[in-house]
Amino acid sequence: MKKLNVEICDVTLRDGEQTPGVSFTCEEKKSIALMLDEIGVEVIEAGFPSVSENEKRCVREIADMGLSARTCCLSRAVKSDVDAAIDCGVDLVSIFFATSDLHIRIKYKKTREEMLEEALRMVEYATEHGIDVRFSAEEGSRTDISFLKEMFERGYEAGAKYSSIADTVGCMTPVEMYNTVLDVTETLKNPLCVHCHDDMGCATANTISAAQAGAFQLHTTINGIGERAGNAALEEVLVALRMKGGIDRYNLTPLMKTSKMVEEYSGIKVAKNKAVVGDHAFSHESGIHIAAMLVEPSAYEYFPPELVGGQRKFILGKHTGRKALEHVVKCLGCSITRDECAWVLEQIKTKSEGKCSITPEVLLAILKEAREEKH
């Protein structure tokens, strides 16, 4: 992959909070914003000010934190929403309307041309009040491509700094996303943003594919939280950009800590097998794997856990081999003979097949039993 030219806009504080049942306090939002700033995220979408007075206050407080990141908020293409954004003092407002024929028909009862004219007036209004605009097509992935191009062309003429496509229902595949971005950016005069949802499990892949095709601003959420199946996960996108896109300016070390913070604040548990930040992301049980990793960790880890603030774990179970057992026993400050090793391995396999987790306490008990058997 060629070196990519991108920036990150993290939307955890807005779209992430739209996860069913999730609501962050203002202090929690500010804590998350500080972590995002430490990571080096360029834009933080702080909220949707028109939702409530408390939301508006939180967005304003985040905008006043003196972060290195620019702050952003969401706005419908209506004057009261844009006024709320202006009052918050954010650097960027994302003005959106749903652009697919389906949404225009069921939500607005107007033609797409009428909706575009209304939205353009709000782009001009925000620009006249000194705030940068991201002109966003909700349902962009199911919108006629010629209308998208017209929308973005006229948005640019009205002063929009960015154009944005949202795959609102997560219906795109990476190849479709790549081709769409390639087509749109062919005539686009300002940077393109992509906002991907994970309904078919493609959000991160779609985001990286969009970047490869020329998209500049990539939208993410921590742990991939968000409406329904969520959004492109910040930690996955950043690791992909580091490992495949030649981008090393982000500080990835706080990713694990940030993930745990959002897990706690949101109440949404991270799957154990979740890429990058899951409990099993750097856990190994296979004896064949562990034997190789004791010589060279990269044999079965594409990137080291330390990169993202994680820790490698060797888990004992039915697939464990002698070298792994010897290593784990040594880490516990104990020793084991070859004869004991064979007996202990047999006990580990039996207990593991019986769905018993081989914790350090269980292992030490087996070791004790092995020595008692010997004598």
CATH of the domain at 194: 3.20.20.70
For residues 309 and 218, state if they share a domain. no
On whether residue 275 sits in a domain, the answer given is no
Report the chain's mean pLDDT, rounded to a whole number: 93
251 with 319, same domain: the answer is no
Residue-level pLDDT at 40? 98
Q: Are 174 and 210 in contact (CB under 8 A)?
A: no
Question: How far is Cα 210 from Cα 165, in angstroms, rounded to an integer?
Answer: 10
In whole angstroms, give the CA distance from residue 332 to residue 352.
Answer: 20
Same domain for 218 and 129, yes or no, is: yes
Is the pLDDT at 227 greater than 60? The verdict is: yes
Which token pair is 352? 């593991």
Q: Which of 215, 240, 266 is the last residue of a domain?
A: 266
48 vs 371 pLDDT, higher one = 48
Q: Which long-range contacts (CB under 8 A, 24 or more apart) does 27-32 make?
A: 28/265, 29/58, 29/62, 30/58, 30/61, 30/62, 30/65, 31/261, 31/265, 32/222, 32/258, 32/261, 32/262, 32/265
Give the single-character DSSP code of 221: B
Residues 216 and 138 in one domain: yes
Tell me the pLDDT band of 350, cut-offs 50, 70 and 90.
confident
Whether pLDDT at 259 is above 90: yes
The pLDDT tens digits for 20-69 are 999 999 999 999 999 999 999 999 999 999 999 999 999 999 999 999 99
pLDDT on residue 16: 95
> Is the confidence at residue 105, as pLDDT, over 90?
no
Q: Can you give the pLDDT at residue 362?
A: 78
Kindly state whether residue 1 falls inside one of the protein's structural domains.
no
Share of the chain above pLDDT 90, in %: 75
Asked whether residue 320 is domain-assigned, the answer is yes
Instruction: Specify the length of the chain in residues.
Output: 375
117 and 66, same structural domain?
yes
What's the farthest any 2 CA atoms get from each other in the chain?
Answer: 88
Q: Is residue 19 part of a domain?
A: yes
DSSP SS3 for 32: helix
Tell whether 242 and 342 lie within a shared domain.
no
Residue 273 inside a domain? The answer is no
- From residue 357, give the alpha-carbon distance in Å to each of 311, 348, 352, 361: 19, 9, 6, 10
Same-domain status, 37 and 159 = yes
Please determine, for residue 334, whether its predicted confidence score (pLDDT) is greater than 90.
no
Residue 92: domain span: 7-266
Distance (Å, whole) CA 362 – CA 26: 43
Say how many Å lie between the first and final Cα of the chain, rounded: 61
Amino acid identity of residue 352, one-letter, is: S
298 and 251 in a common domain: no
- 277 assigned to some structural domain: no
Structural domain ending residue among the three candidates 238, 266, 294: 266
User: Of 211, 234, 266, which residue is a domain's last?
Assistant: 266
Same domain, 334 and 258: no
Decide if 276 is inside a domain: no
Q: How would you class 59 by CB atoms within 10 Å of its CB: exposed for 0-12, middle for 13-18, buried for 19 or more?
A: buried
Do 113 and 68 belong together in one domain? Answer: yes
DSSP-assigned beta bridge partners for residue 164? 136, 193
How far apart are the C-alpha atoms of 315 and 67, rounded to whole Å?
41
Domain count, the chain: 2
pLDDT of residue 356: 75
| Domain annotation covers residue 2 | no
Residue 231's SS3 state is strand
Q: Do 320 and 249 fall into the same domain?
A: no
**pLDDT confidence of residue 342:** 80
Q: What is the number of H-type helices and E-type strands within the chain?
A: 14, 10
> Cα 82 to chain center, whole Å?
27
| The predicted structure's pLDDT at residue 372 | 67
Task: Report CA torsion sign: 360, 365, 369, 371.
Answer: positive
pLDDT tens across 109-153, in order? 889 899 999 999 999 999 999 999 999 999 999 999 999 999 999
Q: What are phi and psi of 300, to 5 degrees?
A: -135, 20
Domain identity same for 176 and 289: no
pLDDT in the model for residue 355: 82
pLDDT in tens, 145-180: 999 999 999 999 999 999 999 999 999 999 999 999
Give the DSSP H/E element, type plus range, for residue 72: strand 70-76
User: What is the value of pTM for the model shown?
Assistant: 0.92
Confidence (pLDDT) at 316: 80
